[in-house]
Amino acid sequence: MKKLLITAIMLLISINLYAKDSINDIMKKAHLAAYYMGKDGVAQMVMKVYAKDSKKPIKKLFYMLRLNNEEGGRQMFYTYFQKPSDISRTTFLVHKFIDQDDFRRLYIPASDKVLAIAGSRKQDPFMGSDFIYEDVSGRHFTKDNHKLLGEETLDGVQCFVTESTPKVKEDKTYKIKAWIDKKTYIPMKVVYFNHDKVEYRIYESQKIQTIGNYPTIMKRVMTSPLDGTKTVMMVNPEKVKYDVGLTESVFTERSLKNPPMKYLK
């Protein structure tokens, strides 16, 4: 009897360990699928920001360059804004770290100033949109504790349903619920709950296209139900490339005022 009890306990422990490893594996693959396609990438994007009760958006056209320093780890991002005219030539540089605050710099050509943005301000809006800085560079999966809630079909896509809670309490986010494509591991929908357990941000991947063997999110939408605002971000399918040979020399403060134009056309 004692041996049977010990065996049962060991079995339960092994099942729990397997479940934990399984959900962590899912979240790691989702993180890689969303932010680490190829060794590097270049994309031209248009962002449409809809104010409350407005059907006419403010459009912003920009290029985004990305370099992976480590698989699932350190990355570098460079953003170059083209339109509208009041933000033309504005640039944004991010060195993403996992175990420390990110390095962020913003260049404003109108004043010819480079501004340091605290790496801790990951929850601030990205260029006046419903996306935040953390959405652009990616929230690392190790920042949260995860649970696998089950599986569901979302708009015809078989998905894992997960729930994540920050390991360190945050000002805005209480928990995050996600629907992750079982085939590509791309997050198809992500709902953010505030500390009142109310949905305050909802993300959706609305169009996926394979570019250079990489499933790519071509249209993503972020809505803010409590504010009544929405932002749509779309990739130009003719101006997105992977593995183009970007080097760290592109992602320096010098590039803020002197953009690497050969990649921005």
In tens, the pLDDT along 8-27 reads 444 344 444 444 559 999 99
Res. 7: pLDDT tops 80: no
Least confident stretch, 43-57, 110-124, 201-215, 223-237: 110-124
The reported pLDDT for the residue numbered 17 is: 42
DSSP 8-state assignment for residue 176: E
The CA–CA distances, whole Å, from 166 to 28, 32, 140, 149, 171 equal: 15, 19, 11, 17, 11
- Are residues 124 and 133 in contact, defined by beta-carbon separation less than 8 angstroms? yes
d(CA 217, CA 235): 8
Percent of the chain residues past pLDDT 90, beyond the cut = 80
Mean local confidence (pLDDT), 40-58:
95
Q: Please write the tens of the pLDDT for every residue from 208-253.
A: 999 989 999 999 999 999 999 999 999 999 999 999 999 999 999 9
Mean pLDDT of the chain: 91
- For the chain, the domain total comes to 1
Q: Which amino acid is at 56?
A: K
Residue 188: give its domain's CATH number: 2.50.20.10
Mean local confidence (pLDDT), 101-128:
89
The CA–CA distances, whole Å, from 47 to 58, 88, 103, 126, 220 equal: 8, 14, 24, 11, 10
d(CA 4, CA 2): 5
Give the confidence band of 165 by pLDDT, cuts at 50, 70, 90.
Answer: very high
Give the confidence band of 100 by pLDDT, cuts at 50, 70, 90.
Answer: confident
Cis, bond preceding 84 (omega within 30 deg of 0):
yes
Q: Please write the tens of the pLDDT for every residue from 22-43.
A: 999 999 999 999 999 999 999 9
**Length of the chain in terms of residues written:** 265
Res. 171: pLDDT tops 90: no
Measure the CA angle with vertex 83, ends 82 and 85; round to 5°. Answer: 110
Give the confidence band of 1 by pLDDT, cuts at 50, 70, 90.
Answer: low
Mean local confidence (pLDDT), 64-93:
95
The reported pLDDT for the residue numbered 21 is: 52
Q: Which domain, by its residues, includes 130?
A: 2-263
| Residue closest to 82 by CA, chosen among 93, 92, 67 | 92
The reported pLDDT for the residue numbered 5 is: 47
- Are residues 174 and 197 in contact, defined by beta-carbon separation less than 8 angstroms? yes
